[in-house]
Amino acid sequence: MELIANGLLEAARRVVTLDPDLVDAAAATLVVSGVATALAILTGVPLGAWLGRARFPGRDLFLSLVNTGMGLPPVVVGLFVAVLVWRSGPLGQLDWYCTREAMVVAQYILAAPTVIGLTAVAIQSVDPMLPIQLAALGASSRQVLAILVRETRLLLLTAAMAGLGAVISEIGASLMVGCNIKGDTRILTTAIALDTSKGEFGSAFALAFVLLLIVFAVNALTTWAQQRQATS
């Protein structure tokens, strides 16, 4: 109990004094996971909406691959991206190994299938008569798709949050391609793992508290937006 108490006291001190290492890790987490999630939304929502509506040979196989991607092990993604950006790899000329760019790529690969898959499910949940009625009124395919996306916006918010949740708490891929460099690629999850391995529980508790605070804040904001849309 003394170990836990001392750790919590040290964590409180670091949070209150805005410890520089804590702030750096939190900022890096927000930047990397935020950019990766934003890219996943920008590409995943249109693709998922199209998959939810389209009918073509191999569609079920494609959706199965997307659903499989929702459970990709982060270390496997980390290995794949590391090979790509390794100096002698296909993208070695970019010199992205041990950079935030590589971390964004890895986290994007983890988030995109979740956004795509849940968006497709959201579009498929719409009354099948609605697209027919819209087409009868003269709406183009793009207009129909845009209206369906608008009608399922609450579910799409959930898809976006699921995508963020898939990356903000992962550690394997970010550690493998970002190298956990202090002040640069060290994010909250990799910092927690490092401090725990060194027995620095006060710092680890502080980092964990900030990570939980970020997750709670983002989810609270999303819930507020969903409830506001539902009552409007």
Q: What is the CATH number of the domain that holds 74?
A: 1.10.3720.10
Domain tally, the chain: 1
Share of the chain above pLDDT 70, in %: 98
Q: Is residue 9 part of a domain?
A: no
Tens digit of each residue's pLDDT (9 = 90 or more) over 120-164? 998 888 877 777 787 777 778 788 778 887 888 888 888 999 999
Of the candidates 130, 105, 119, 98, the one whose C-alpha atom is nearest the C-alpha of residue 41 is 119
pTM of the model: 0.90
Q: Is residue 211 part of a domain?
A: no
Q: Is residue 120 part of a domain?
A: yes
The angle subtended at Cα 40 by Cα 214 and Cα 103, nearest 5°, is 70
Q: Is residue 3 part of a domain?
A: no
pLDDT of residue 11: 79
Domain span including residue 173: 27-187
| Lookup: tokens for 189 | 């999850």
| 96 vs 141 pLDDT, higher one | 96
Q: Is residue 166 part of a domain?
A: yes
Q: Is residue 149 part of a domain?
A: yes
Does pLDDT of 58 surpass 90?
Answer: no
Task: Identify residue 111 by its one-letter amino acid code.
Answer: A
End-to-end Cα, the chain, rounded Å: 49
Average the pLDDT over 88-107 and give the result. Answer: 96
pLDDT of residue 230: 65
Q: Is residue 219 part of a domain?
A: no
What does each C-alpha distance from 90 to 74, 111, 123, 172, 174 come to in angstroms?
Answer: 21, 23, 36, 22, 19
Tens digit of each residue's pLDDT (9 = 90 or more) over 113-132? 999 999 999 888 887 777 77
What does each C-alpha distance from 128 to 44, 123, 133, 197 come to in angstroms?
Answer: 22, 10, 9, 54
What ranges in the chain are assigned the alpha helix state H? 2-16, 20-53, 59-69, 74-85, 100-124, 129-136, 141-151, 153-168, 172-178, 188-197, 201-231
Q: Is residue 227 part of a domain?
A: no
